[in-house]
């Protein structure tokens, strides 16, 4: 694969001027990586014989990081489903990969070069036809690039309407099956996963997810559904799908202006306005899960833009619905039981809900049940009645509102899990949990980035109420 160093599309990285799309050439590239990994493993194992325990531990950590970095670099060059699968491994991997490997693989989320225009232009021509394309002026420099496709800004000539044209990379859909098998073998060859762990369910889920994300017709339906459901809520803006410029591999919507939540124009807003944005973002998640049972599960900041308004009507722009997941009402109700049990410090209710969704199995020691319940009670800390005194005082402002930016809650929850060895019992949780908690973590990061100070106890209780969960 060649990278055009002079073309600085998509940040400081050059654009990829050709893609390995055939299974054979992709397999050869990954096989070379696997053989190299095998040689490095042998050398590392021999060297470990002559190292003391402390040096051996550090050497192992360095080795895992190097192996993961090599893997991530190669996946980034290959693009397509194999890279997206690598991203998913960083999500699932927190349960079974060395932390050094997770840290490196997580960089695949947003650190990828764009593909050169000459690679994606034929996709547009074949999908839409020359007559339709002649109606548009398309900027050949992408405004965003991901593992399965990239987006270009365009203008409709007849009325000047600004559009966003999302183009799927050629060959990625047909390579999914081969990529999954090859990556599974490669992961074993790099020795990044425990030998006794059955990765088949993990890769089955990754395969399903990949097939969903290359299904632009499904993404179009989810985009239209979100737009319809939120059309009366001025806090949110959802792009409008433009059907005549859509196909199996092209999704065109209106271009929606907005800036990153980290932009100075957002960070400089008053506390009141940042709180309103935070409240809206939190409530959106609660509505998606508890009412609609339809959650956009990718919390990447690029999927959310902020549109500041001098009159106080700030909006959140919602983008990219390819990772939307639908949840069954039974799962939602049982998960609500865990959350409501944690809010009430009712450990019997917590354990019952965990059993019902398959997160917990019969025969777990009482110490594990207690530690799991303690962790659940800790996780709902931002929603507690803070006057009860369970929340650390330094996390509350003068009005008793929770200060998300100053919270170290994820670290404290992780400490409870590590201290009680919960990972031994919860090796890989149900896939519904993985993706739900992915978005939940994104909510926490978003509110922390906005510097939210909120009392959201009543908000959560409202959506936990069975009477609120009616819009499935």
pLDDT digits (tens, 9 = 90+) for 216-245: 999 999 999 999 999 999 999 999 999 999
Q: How far apart are CA 172 and CA 82, in angstroms?
A: 9
Predicted confidence band at 90 (pLDDT cuts at 50, 70, 90)?
low
Task: Tell me the torsion sign for CA atoms 155, 212, 221, 334.
Answer: negative
> Which among 428, 456, 108 has a CA at the least distance from the CA of 300?
108
Place of tokens 């890769």: 203
Please state, rounded to an integer, the average pLDDT across all residues of the chain: 80
Q: What is the pLDDT of residues 279-290, one digit of tens each?
A: 999 999 999 999
pLDDT score of 246 more than 90: yes
Q: What is the pLDDT of residues 250-280, one digit of tens each?
A: 999 999 999 999 999 999 999 999 999 999 9
Q: Are 143 and 152 in contact (CB under 8 A)?
A: yes
Q: What is the pLDDT of residues 119-159, one digit of tens each?
A: 999 999 999 999 999 999 999 999 988 878 899 999 999 99
pLDDT at res. 96: 62
Counting Cβ atoms within 10 Å, is residue 422 exposed (0-12), middle (13-18) or buried (19+)?
middle
Q: How far apart are CA 84 and CA 91, in angstroms?
A: 11
Q: What is the pLDDT of residues 349-396, one digit of tens each?
A: 999 999 998 888 788 888 888 888 988 998 999 998 867 778 889 999
3-state DSSP of 80-143: HHHHHHHHHHHHHHHHCCCHHHHHHHHHHHCCCCCECHHHHHHHHHHHHCHHHHCCEEECCCCC
Taking the CB of residue 208, how many other CB atoms lie within 10 A of it? 11
Average pLDDT over every residue of 10-30: 54
Predicted confidence band at 203 (pLDDT cuts at 50, 70, 90)?
confident
Residue 144, SS3 per DSSP: strand
Q: Are 19 and 115 in contact (CB under 8 A)?
A: yes
CA-based R_g, the chain, Å: 24
Predicted confidence band at 420 (pLDDT cuts at 50, 70, 90)?
low
pLDDT at res. 76: 57
**Which tokens go with 198?**
């059955």
pTM for the complete prediction? 0.79
Which letter does DSSP use for residue 318 in this model?
Answer: E
pLDDT at res. 221: 97
């Amino acid at each position: 694969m060649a990278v055009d160093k002079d073309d600085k599309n998509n940040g400081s990285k050059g654009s990829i001027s050709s893609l390995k799309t055939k299974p054979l050439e992709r397999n050869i590239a990954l096989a070379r990586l696997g053989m190299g990994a095998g040689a490095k493993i042998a050398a590392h194992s021999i060297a470990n014989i002559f190292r003391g325990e402390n040096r051996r531990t550090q050497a192992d950590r360095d080795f895992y990081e190097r192996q993961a970095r090599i893997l991530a670099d190669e996946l980034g060059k290959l693009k397509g489903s194999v890279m997206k699968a690598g991203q998913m491994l960083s999500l699932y991997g927190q349960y079974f990969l060395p932390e050094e490997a997770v840290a490196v693989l997580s960089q695949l989320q947003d650190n990828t070069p764009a593909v050169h225009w000459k690679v994606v232009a034929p996709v547009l021509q074949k999908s839409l036809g020359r007559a339709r394309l002649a109606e548009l002026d398309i900027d050949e420099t992408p405004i965003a690039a991901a593992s399965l496709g990239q987006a270009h800004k365009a203008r409709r000539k007849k009325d000047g309407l600004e559009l966003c044209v999302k183009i799927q990379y050629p060959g990625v859909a047909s390579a999914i099956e081969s990529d999954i098998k090859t990556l599974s073998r490669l992961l074993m060859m790099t020795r990044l996963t425990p030998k006794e762990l059955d990765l088949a369910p993990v890769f089955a889920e990754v395969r399903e997810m990949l097939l969903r994300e290359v299904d632009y017709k499904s993404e179009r339906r989810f985009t239209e559904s979100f737009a319809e459901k939120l059309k009366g809520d001025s806090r949110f803006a959802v792009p409008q799908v433009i059907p005549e410029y859509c196909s199996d591999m092209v999704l065109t919507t209106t271009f929606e202006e907005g800036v990153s939540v980290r932009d100075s124009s957002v960070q400089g807003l008053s506390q009141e306005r940042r709180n309103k944005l935070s409240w809206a973002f939190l409530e959106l998640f609660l509505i998606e899960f508890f009412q609609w049972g339809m959650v956009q599960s990718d919390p990447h900041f690029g999927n959310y833009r902020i549109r500041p308004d001098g009159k106080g009507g700030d909006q959140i722009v919602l983008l990219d619905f390819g990772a939307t997941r639908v949840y069954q009402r039974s799962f939602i109700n049982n998960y609500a039981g865990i959350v409501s049990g944690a809010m009430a410090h009712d450990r019997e209710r917590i354990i019952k809900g965990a059993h019902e969704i398959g997160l917990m199995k019969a025969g777990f020691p009482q110490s594990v049940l207690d530690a799991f319940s303690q962790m659940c009670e800790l996780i709902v800390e931002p929603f507690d009645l803070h006057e009860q005194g369970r929340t650390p005082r330094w996390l509350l402002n003068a009005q008793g509102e929770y200060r998300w930016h100053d919270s170290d809650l994820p670290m404290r929850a992780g400490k409870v899990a590590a201290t009680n060895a919960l990972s031994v019992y919860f090796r890989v949780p149900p896939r519904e949990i993985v993706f739900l908690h992915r978005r939940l973590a994104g909510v926490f990061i978003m509110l922390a980035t906005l510097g939210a100070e909120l009392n959201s106890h009543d908000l959560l209780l409202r959506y936990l109420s069975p009477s609120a969960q009616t819009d499935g």
